Amino acid sequence: MTARVYLRPTAFIDAPFGHNGRALRLAGGLQWFSAVELITSDYGQRGTVELVPVEQLEARIAALPAPQAAEAQAFLARLLAPRPALSLGERVVRLDQPQVMAILNLTPDSFSDGGRHFDDPVAAADAATAMAAVGAAIIDVGGESTRPGAQPVWEGDQTARVLPVIERLAAAGVAMSIDTRNANVAAAALKAGAAMVNDVSAGKFDPRMLEVVAAAGCPIVLMHHQGQPETMQHDPRYDDVLLDVYDWLEDRIAAATDAGIAKDRILVDPGIGFGKTLRHNLMVLNGLSLFHGLGCALVLGASRKRLVGALSGEAPAEKRLPGSLALALAGASQGVQILRVHDSEESVQALRVWRGLRDSALTP
């Protein structure tokens, strides 16, 4: 590895009015930042962190050694570039504002709602339609639990679980993603009406996944993980979790584009709870804005996860709504474009209030 430079947007402000040259718009969204943390990393170890006001950023980048200056300029360009809308079948999902991806687990063993919609495609489709009706932009349909300790599910069982529901939702015009690590499941779901793949392994579990997605021309979510679900929480380690996750996702984006997937159809997820301790998760959440430097839309899936319970007296999964909303709003405040949630109606309402505040601030 060689020395690298990263830029993390910070010092967010309500609106850019009256701050000409002192604020920049993050990824074409609703957030404006007035400073960046300029982070240097030497051979994988974090070196210095320097807070640079936006009005001084151009000069500070110019003062870097030539390779790092070019890298920083490219990083900044990716931070600012608007994220194109997602075309999901008949639906278009804009990414200039935070959107809700609602979770539909068709499993008997998912950590939060396993069994609720298992083996009842009609009830599951009705539940998903209700999620869309209250404002969820995307329904994320999954037939395999990847919670810590979960065992793999045969792709035939996954397909049997998800296809009857996907077909019903496609007929109703609902935008869907298929949550799977298996290329054959993804291919069958896309043929049945899903329009995006959400792969928690980022294409590493099944080597055919990126090929299938490239052939379909659909979007894909690449999620960071360390280890496999069966063992991923057994002493996960990082040199610098924020930069390690960034570099890992950068490598997976390169693998996806090399496989023929267009960069504007790639989304990234830092993988809260997937091979990370509580401390790791909190560091990633506090540093979320860094990941906009990858140049892809950002997905955050923190709903009802273990960290909420760990910070709230070991609250069980069904009692983690308030903490989940806090994390969703924290993500929106750092420019996250898609929030993957269990509680659609409550999350949509929270984001509408957040959006109202932003709209007021951005109205001259």
Q: What is the dihedral of CA 311, 239, 225, 245, to 10 degrees?
A: 90
Distance between CA 32 and CA 23 in Å, rounded?
6
User: Token pair of 306, please?
Assistant: 């273990």
Long-range contacts of 348-352 (CB under 8 A, 24+ apart): 348/100, 348/134, 348/135, 348/136, 350/325, 351/98, 351/100, 352/135
What whole-number distance in Å separates Cα of residue 350 and Cα of residue 354? Answer: 6
> Catalytic one among 147, 265, 304, 305?
305
CB-based contact 86:122 (threshold 8 Å): no
In terms of Cα–Cα distance, which of 350, 300, 353 is closest to 322?
350
- The answer to whether 157 and 182 are in contact (CB under 8 A) is no
CA nearest to 115, candidates 45, 171, 124 = 124
H or E, element range at 87: strand 86-88
Q: Which two tokens stand for residue 19?
A: 């701050």
| DSSP states of 114-149 | TTSSTT-HHHHHHHHHHHHHTT-SEEEEESS--STT
The β-bridge relationship of strands 338-341 and 297-300 is parallel
**Residue 340 designated active-site:** yes
First and final C-alpha spacing in the chain = 47
**Given the residues 168, 320, 340, 358, the one annotated as active site:** 340
Give me the active site residues, please. Answer: 305, 340
